[in-house]
Homo-oligomer: A and B are copies of this chain.
Amino acid sequence: MKPSLSVVTLGVNDFARSLDFYKRGLKWATKASKKDSIAFFKLNGVILALYDKKSLAKDAQVEAKGNGFPGITLAHNVKSEKQVDEILKQVTKLGAKLVKKPQKASWGGYSGYFADLDGYLWEVVYNPFWKLDQKGSVILP
């Protein structure tokens, strides 16, 4: 198994509502419309998918029930503290919940967290020790 992650799929409770957040709210490009059952967003080297949560569980042949912290977080790295602040303001206006106010981190960075409409946690973070390439992918030191 090569070191590759192709798609991250978020199981969503209301497809149209979640699609709206990412497509119309964040203006992330996708061919999907509300009539579809799945949406793919081409991000920097990885695809983000939205799919009905029950259908996703069924596809994996697991029980759909799940509560509390999913155990996975997604990070969005940016190039300055100011950008962290701006993005967290933007997403909360779009209906996301501010989970952790942007603040200095003990390791020297600056970050905050928001929960999207289905509760998935995104960390918006500035890491002064990491560079980003043109596509926004992290270049590990």
Contact = CB atoms under 8 A, between A and B. Distances in A.
A4 B64 contact: no
Interface in A90-113: 90-91, 99-100, 113
A41 B1 CA distance: 13
A1 B67 contact: no
A5 B4 contact: no
Interface of A: 1-11, 26, 28-29, 40-48, 53, 56-57, 59-77, 87, 90-91, 99-100, 113, 118-121, 123-125, 132, 135-138, 140
B44 A5 contact: yes
Given A3-B42, A67-B68, A76-B1, A140 B60 contact: no
Given A8-B74, A73-B56, A113-B60, A3 B68 contact: no
Nearest to A139: B42
27 contacts: A1-B76, A3-B26, A3-B43, A3-B48, A4-B44, A4-B76, A5-B8, A5-B46, A5-B48, A6-B136, A6-B138, A7-B138, A8-B72, A8-B73, A11-B72, A45-B46, A45-B135, A57-B69, A59-B123, A60-B100, A62-B121, A63-B69, A64-B69, A66-B67, A66-B68, A67-B68, A71-B118
